[in-house]
Amino acid sequence: MALWKDESSQRNVPEPAAKPPEKVAVLSAVSDQSPRPAPAPQHRADATMKESIISAGLTIEGKIEGSGHVRIAGVFKGDVNVQGNLTIESGAHLTGGVKADTVVIGGQLDGNIDAASRVELLQTGVLNGELKAGSLTVAAGSRMRGKAEFGWDDKPKH
């Protein structure tokens, strides 16, 4: 193998056609490889909302308000009030009140859920508090201590 360009060894070989640039997917690194709950089904209008994440290993105290989705994988102390979905990952812990469109609990929630359209308690989920929701899905193995009201709406049925 020569380290220089040898003109005598070149043949008249046509160059291959230029390939179009390939699309490259960018993935963010995940520090823990623990199984994650399946994301909640989203409506087409929700596809434009961004998701904020509190990563595993973080502890944050405060208040979360606004529109968009929130995923908690660490520890959060404070109230969460969002026009979007709240997901509490397996191993995560939230202490505070929750108001969100859809709440998926895979970790632990110590506080009340008020006015959610849908609440999903996964197999690893723990809820200590009161719950008011349009619908409730409970997986075998999940735990709850408190009062639950679901299936009721503000309009009287005739």
pLDDT, tens digit, for every residue of 82-125?
999 999 999 999 999 999 999 999 999 999 999 889 999 999 99
* Confidence at 23, pLDDT banded by 50, 70, 90: very low
Examine residue 107 and state whether it is found in any structural domain, yes or no. Answer: yes
Q: Is residue 116 included in any domain, yes or no?
A: yes
Range of the domain at 88: 76-139
Residue 28: is its pLDDT beyond 70? no
Residue 81 belongs to a domain: yes
Quote the pLDDT of residue 44. 39
- The model's confidence at residue 6, banded by pLDDT at 50, 70 and 90, is low
Q: Rounded to two decimals, what is the model's pTM? A: 0.68
Structural domain total, the chain: 1
| β-bridge partners, 128 | 110, 145
Q: Is residue 54 part of a domain?
A: no
8 within a domain of the structure (yes/no): no
Residue 72 near residue 86 (C-beta atoms within 8 A):
yes
Q: Count Cβ atoms within 10 A of the Cβ of residue 42 and give its class: 0-12 exposed, 13-18 middle, 19 or more buried.
A: middle
- 85, containing H or E segment: strand 85-88
